[in-house]
């Protein structure tokens, strides 16, 4: 058996979407709570934000995307108050990944994004005994 690499501040983490199913929590509700005021006015309830067509600006290829992910990545995540110094670290990490379209990020990248704590502190939190918001090490599919 190959030895398990010890996670460090360059280890990638992502939101495990199945964690929400397993723990009975509603990811879409959590995502909805992270929306800015403008987007919440647009989608008063999580169910109002359905699947929308996204047209690729260069190839004009149309893909179906979840409006909540779209909002968070393209709008809310770019607002200055999406992550503030008052945002708890666990929430800030979760929001950074939401705004990143759940593309995996390392503690170092997270620290740069959230401008809070240190990469070591973020790593320690992510490896804590309790999984926060489904954020776990990203394992490349083989
Ligand atoms: Zn927004």
How far, in Å, is the centroid of ligand 1 from the Cα of 88? 20
DSSP string, 26-39: -HHHHHHHTS-HHH
How far, in Å, is the centroid of ligand 1 from the Cα of 82? 9
* Regions of the chain where pLDDT drops below 70: 1-4, 140-142
| Number of continuous H segments (helices) and E segments (strands) in the chain | 7, 4
Q: What is the pLDDT of residue 4?
A: 60
Nearest to 138 by CA among 108, 99, 94, 102: 102
How far, in Å, is the centroid of ligand 1 from the Cα of 5? 38
Give the bridge partners for 15, in sequence order: 135
How far, in Å, is the centroid of ligand 1 from the Cα of 44? 12
Q: Are 136 and 13 in contact (CB under 8 A)?
A: yes
| Spatial distance between the Cα atoms of 42 and 75, rounded to a whole number of angstroms | 12
How far, in Å, is the centroid of ligand 1 from the Cα of 56? 20
Alpha carbon separation from 107 to 73, 78, 88 (Å, rounded): 19, 20, 15
Q: What is the pLDDT of residue 88?
A: 94
How far, in Å, is the centroid of ligand 1 from the Cα of 68? 9
Q: Is the pTM of this model over 0.95?
A: no
Q: What is the pLDDT of residue 13?
A: 97
**At CA 56, angle to CA 138 and CA 135, rounded to 5?**
20
Determine the 3-state secondary structure of 54 from DSSP.
Answer: strand
Q: What is the pLDDT of residue 142?
A: 54
């Amino acid at each position: 058996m190959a030895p398990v690499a010890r996670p460090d501040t360059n280890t990638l983490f992502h939101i495990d979407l199945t964690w929400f199913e397993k723990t009975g929590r509603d990811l879409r509700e959590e995502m909805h709570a992270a929306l800015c005021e403008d987007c919440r006015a647009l989608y008063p309830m999580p169910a109002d934000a359905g699947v929308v067509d996204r047209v690729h600006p260069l190839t004009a290829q149309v893909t179906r995307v979840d409006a909540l992910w779209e909002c968070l990545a393209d709008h809310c995540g770019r607002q200055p108050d999406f992550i503030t110094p008052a945002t708890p670290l666990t929430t800030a990490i979760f929001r950074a990944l939401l705004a990143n379209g759940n593309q995996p990020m390392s503690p170092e990248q997270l620290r740069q994004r959230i401008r809070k704590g240190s990469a070591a502190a973020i790593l320690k939190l992510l490896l804590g005994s309790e999984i926060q918001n489904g954020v776990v090490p990203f394992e490349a599919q083989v």
